[in-house]
Amino acid sequence: MTTVTLITGTRKGIGRHLAEHYLARGHRVIGCSRQPADLDHEHYRHFEADVADEASVKALFTAVRKDYGRLDNLINNAGIASMNHSLLTPVETVRRVMDTNLTGAFLFAREAAKIMQKNKYGRIVNFTTVAVALNLEGEAAYVASKAAVEALTRVMARELAIYGITVNAVGPVPIETDLIRSVPKDKIANLVARQAIKRLGTLPDVSNVVDFFLQPDSGFVSGQVIYLGGV
Amino acid sequence: MIDELVQLISVSTRELATEQGIDVPQSLDAGTRLFGEGGLLDSMALVSLVIAVEQALEDKYSVAVALADEKALSQRSSPYRTIGTLAAYAAQELSARKAG
């Protein structure tokens, strides 16, 4: 049976890496982003969708159900950041960040679990950040949205356990992606200094943890958050 | 419309019962109690049924209908009490989707 893996935010960065990583391992990969992706592979299918838009998300899952008939793994990678002091953060930014990071993760997990419960098997991996554990200043909205994702991870782990579905989260340190390109160098250096292992993360550091959560042998691991860098 | 939905939900209920080894009566109709006092399903089976009905509705009418409801687990006003109440709720959601 071929493994079907759905990854959100696959146009670039970590999501793109994960899509290529699992395609290389023989998975059928379904990806999505708001814009088209240039990832061309016979086993890759791309959807253009805003993860926080319920109608588009439901349409995507209808296609998954009809075309693949199953879903083994969901990787809720899509996310946006806002690097702003709370006093300088417009409310619209807070809403946008919460919508993409929390509502998006919620909608995908909910719809994925509806398909997974049928087979009594599923793996859901959410994305958080070490900034939650570090209470990192300058990212209040982003950190709050990811703290909510961690709570969602723990509660859904309990709710979905009965269906053989595990829900876990990985919290990367800064990695060279678009998300941190706009962050001042000294901010990144400060963050790295607070890690036990003081270097930037790499894409394989992230896929290694995701690999662990996705393994069929990890069926007894749920509701957990693994931070990179020894945070 | 309601009769059609009662039929669709009855079929989904029977399929689920077979899958999960739940005892159901020979004939299912609008009055069959699904959830709550005297209901056929526990909360886990109810979740599976609601999902199966959502998918069946989508396949039949080509509209995505969400049957999740705030009052889902309230005994008195839950739309999941019987096949009939679920059919009425589905009809309401379907027409809201079509109008929208």
Domain boundaries, chain A: 4-227
Report pLDDT for A188.
86
Interface of A with B in 59-118 (CB under 8 A): 59, 62, 65, 114, 117-118
**ipTM greater than cut 0.90:** no
What pLDDT was estimated at residue B66?
A: 83
Domains of chain B: 2-22+32-99 (1.10.1200)
pLDDT tens digit sequence for B2-17: 999 999 999 999 999 9
- Test the B interface: residue of A54, A56, A57, A58 with most B CBs within 10 Å: A58
Q: How close are the terminal C-alpha atoms of chain B, in Å?
A: 18
Look at chain B and count its residues.
Answer: 100
- What sections of chain B are H helices per DSSP? 2-20, 43-61, 83-99
Q: Which tens digits make up the pLDDT trace of A151-207?
A: 999 999 999 999 999 999 999 999 877 667 777 888 888 889 999 999 999 999 999
Residues 30-59 of A with CB under 8 A from B: 55, 58-59
Question: Which stretches of chain B drop beneath a pLDDT of 70?
Answer: 71-76, 100
End-to-end CA gap in chain A: 37
Contact B64 A59 (CB under 8 A): yes
pTM: 0.92
- Whether domain A4-227 has CATH 3.40.50.720: the reply is yes
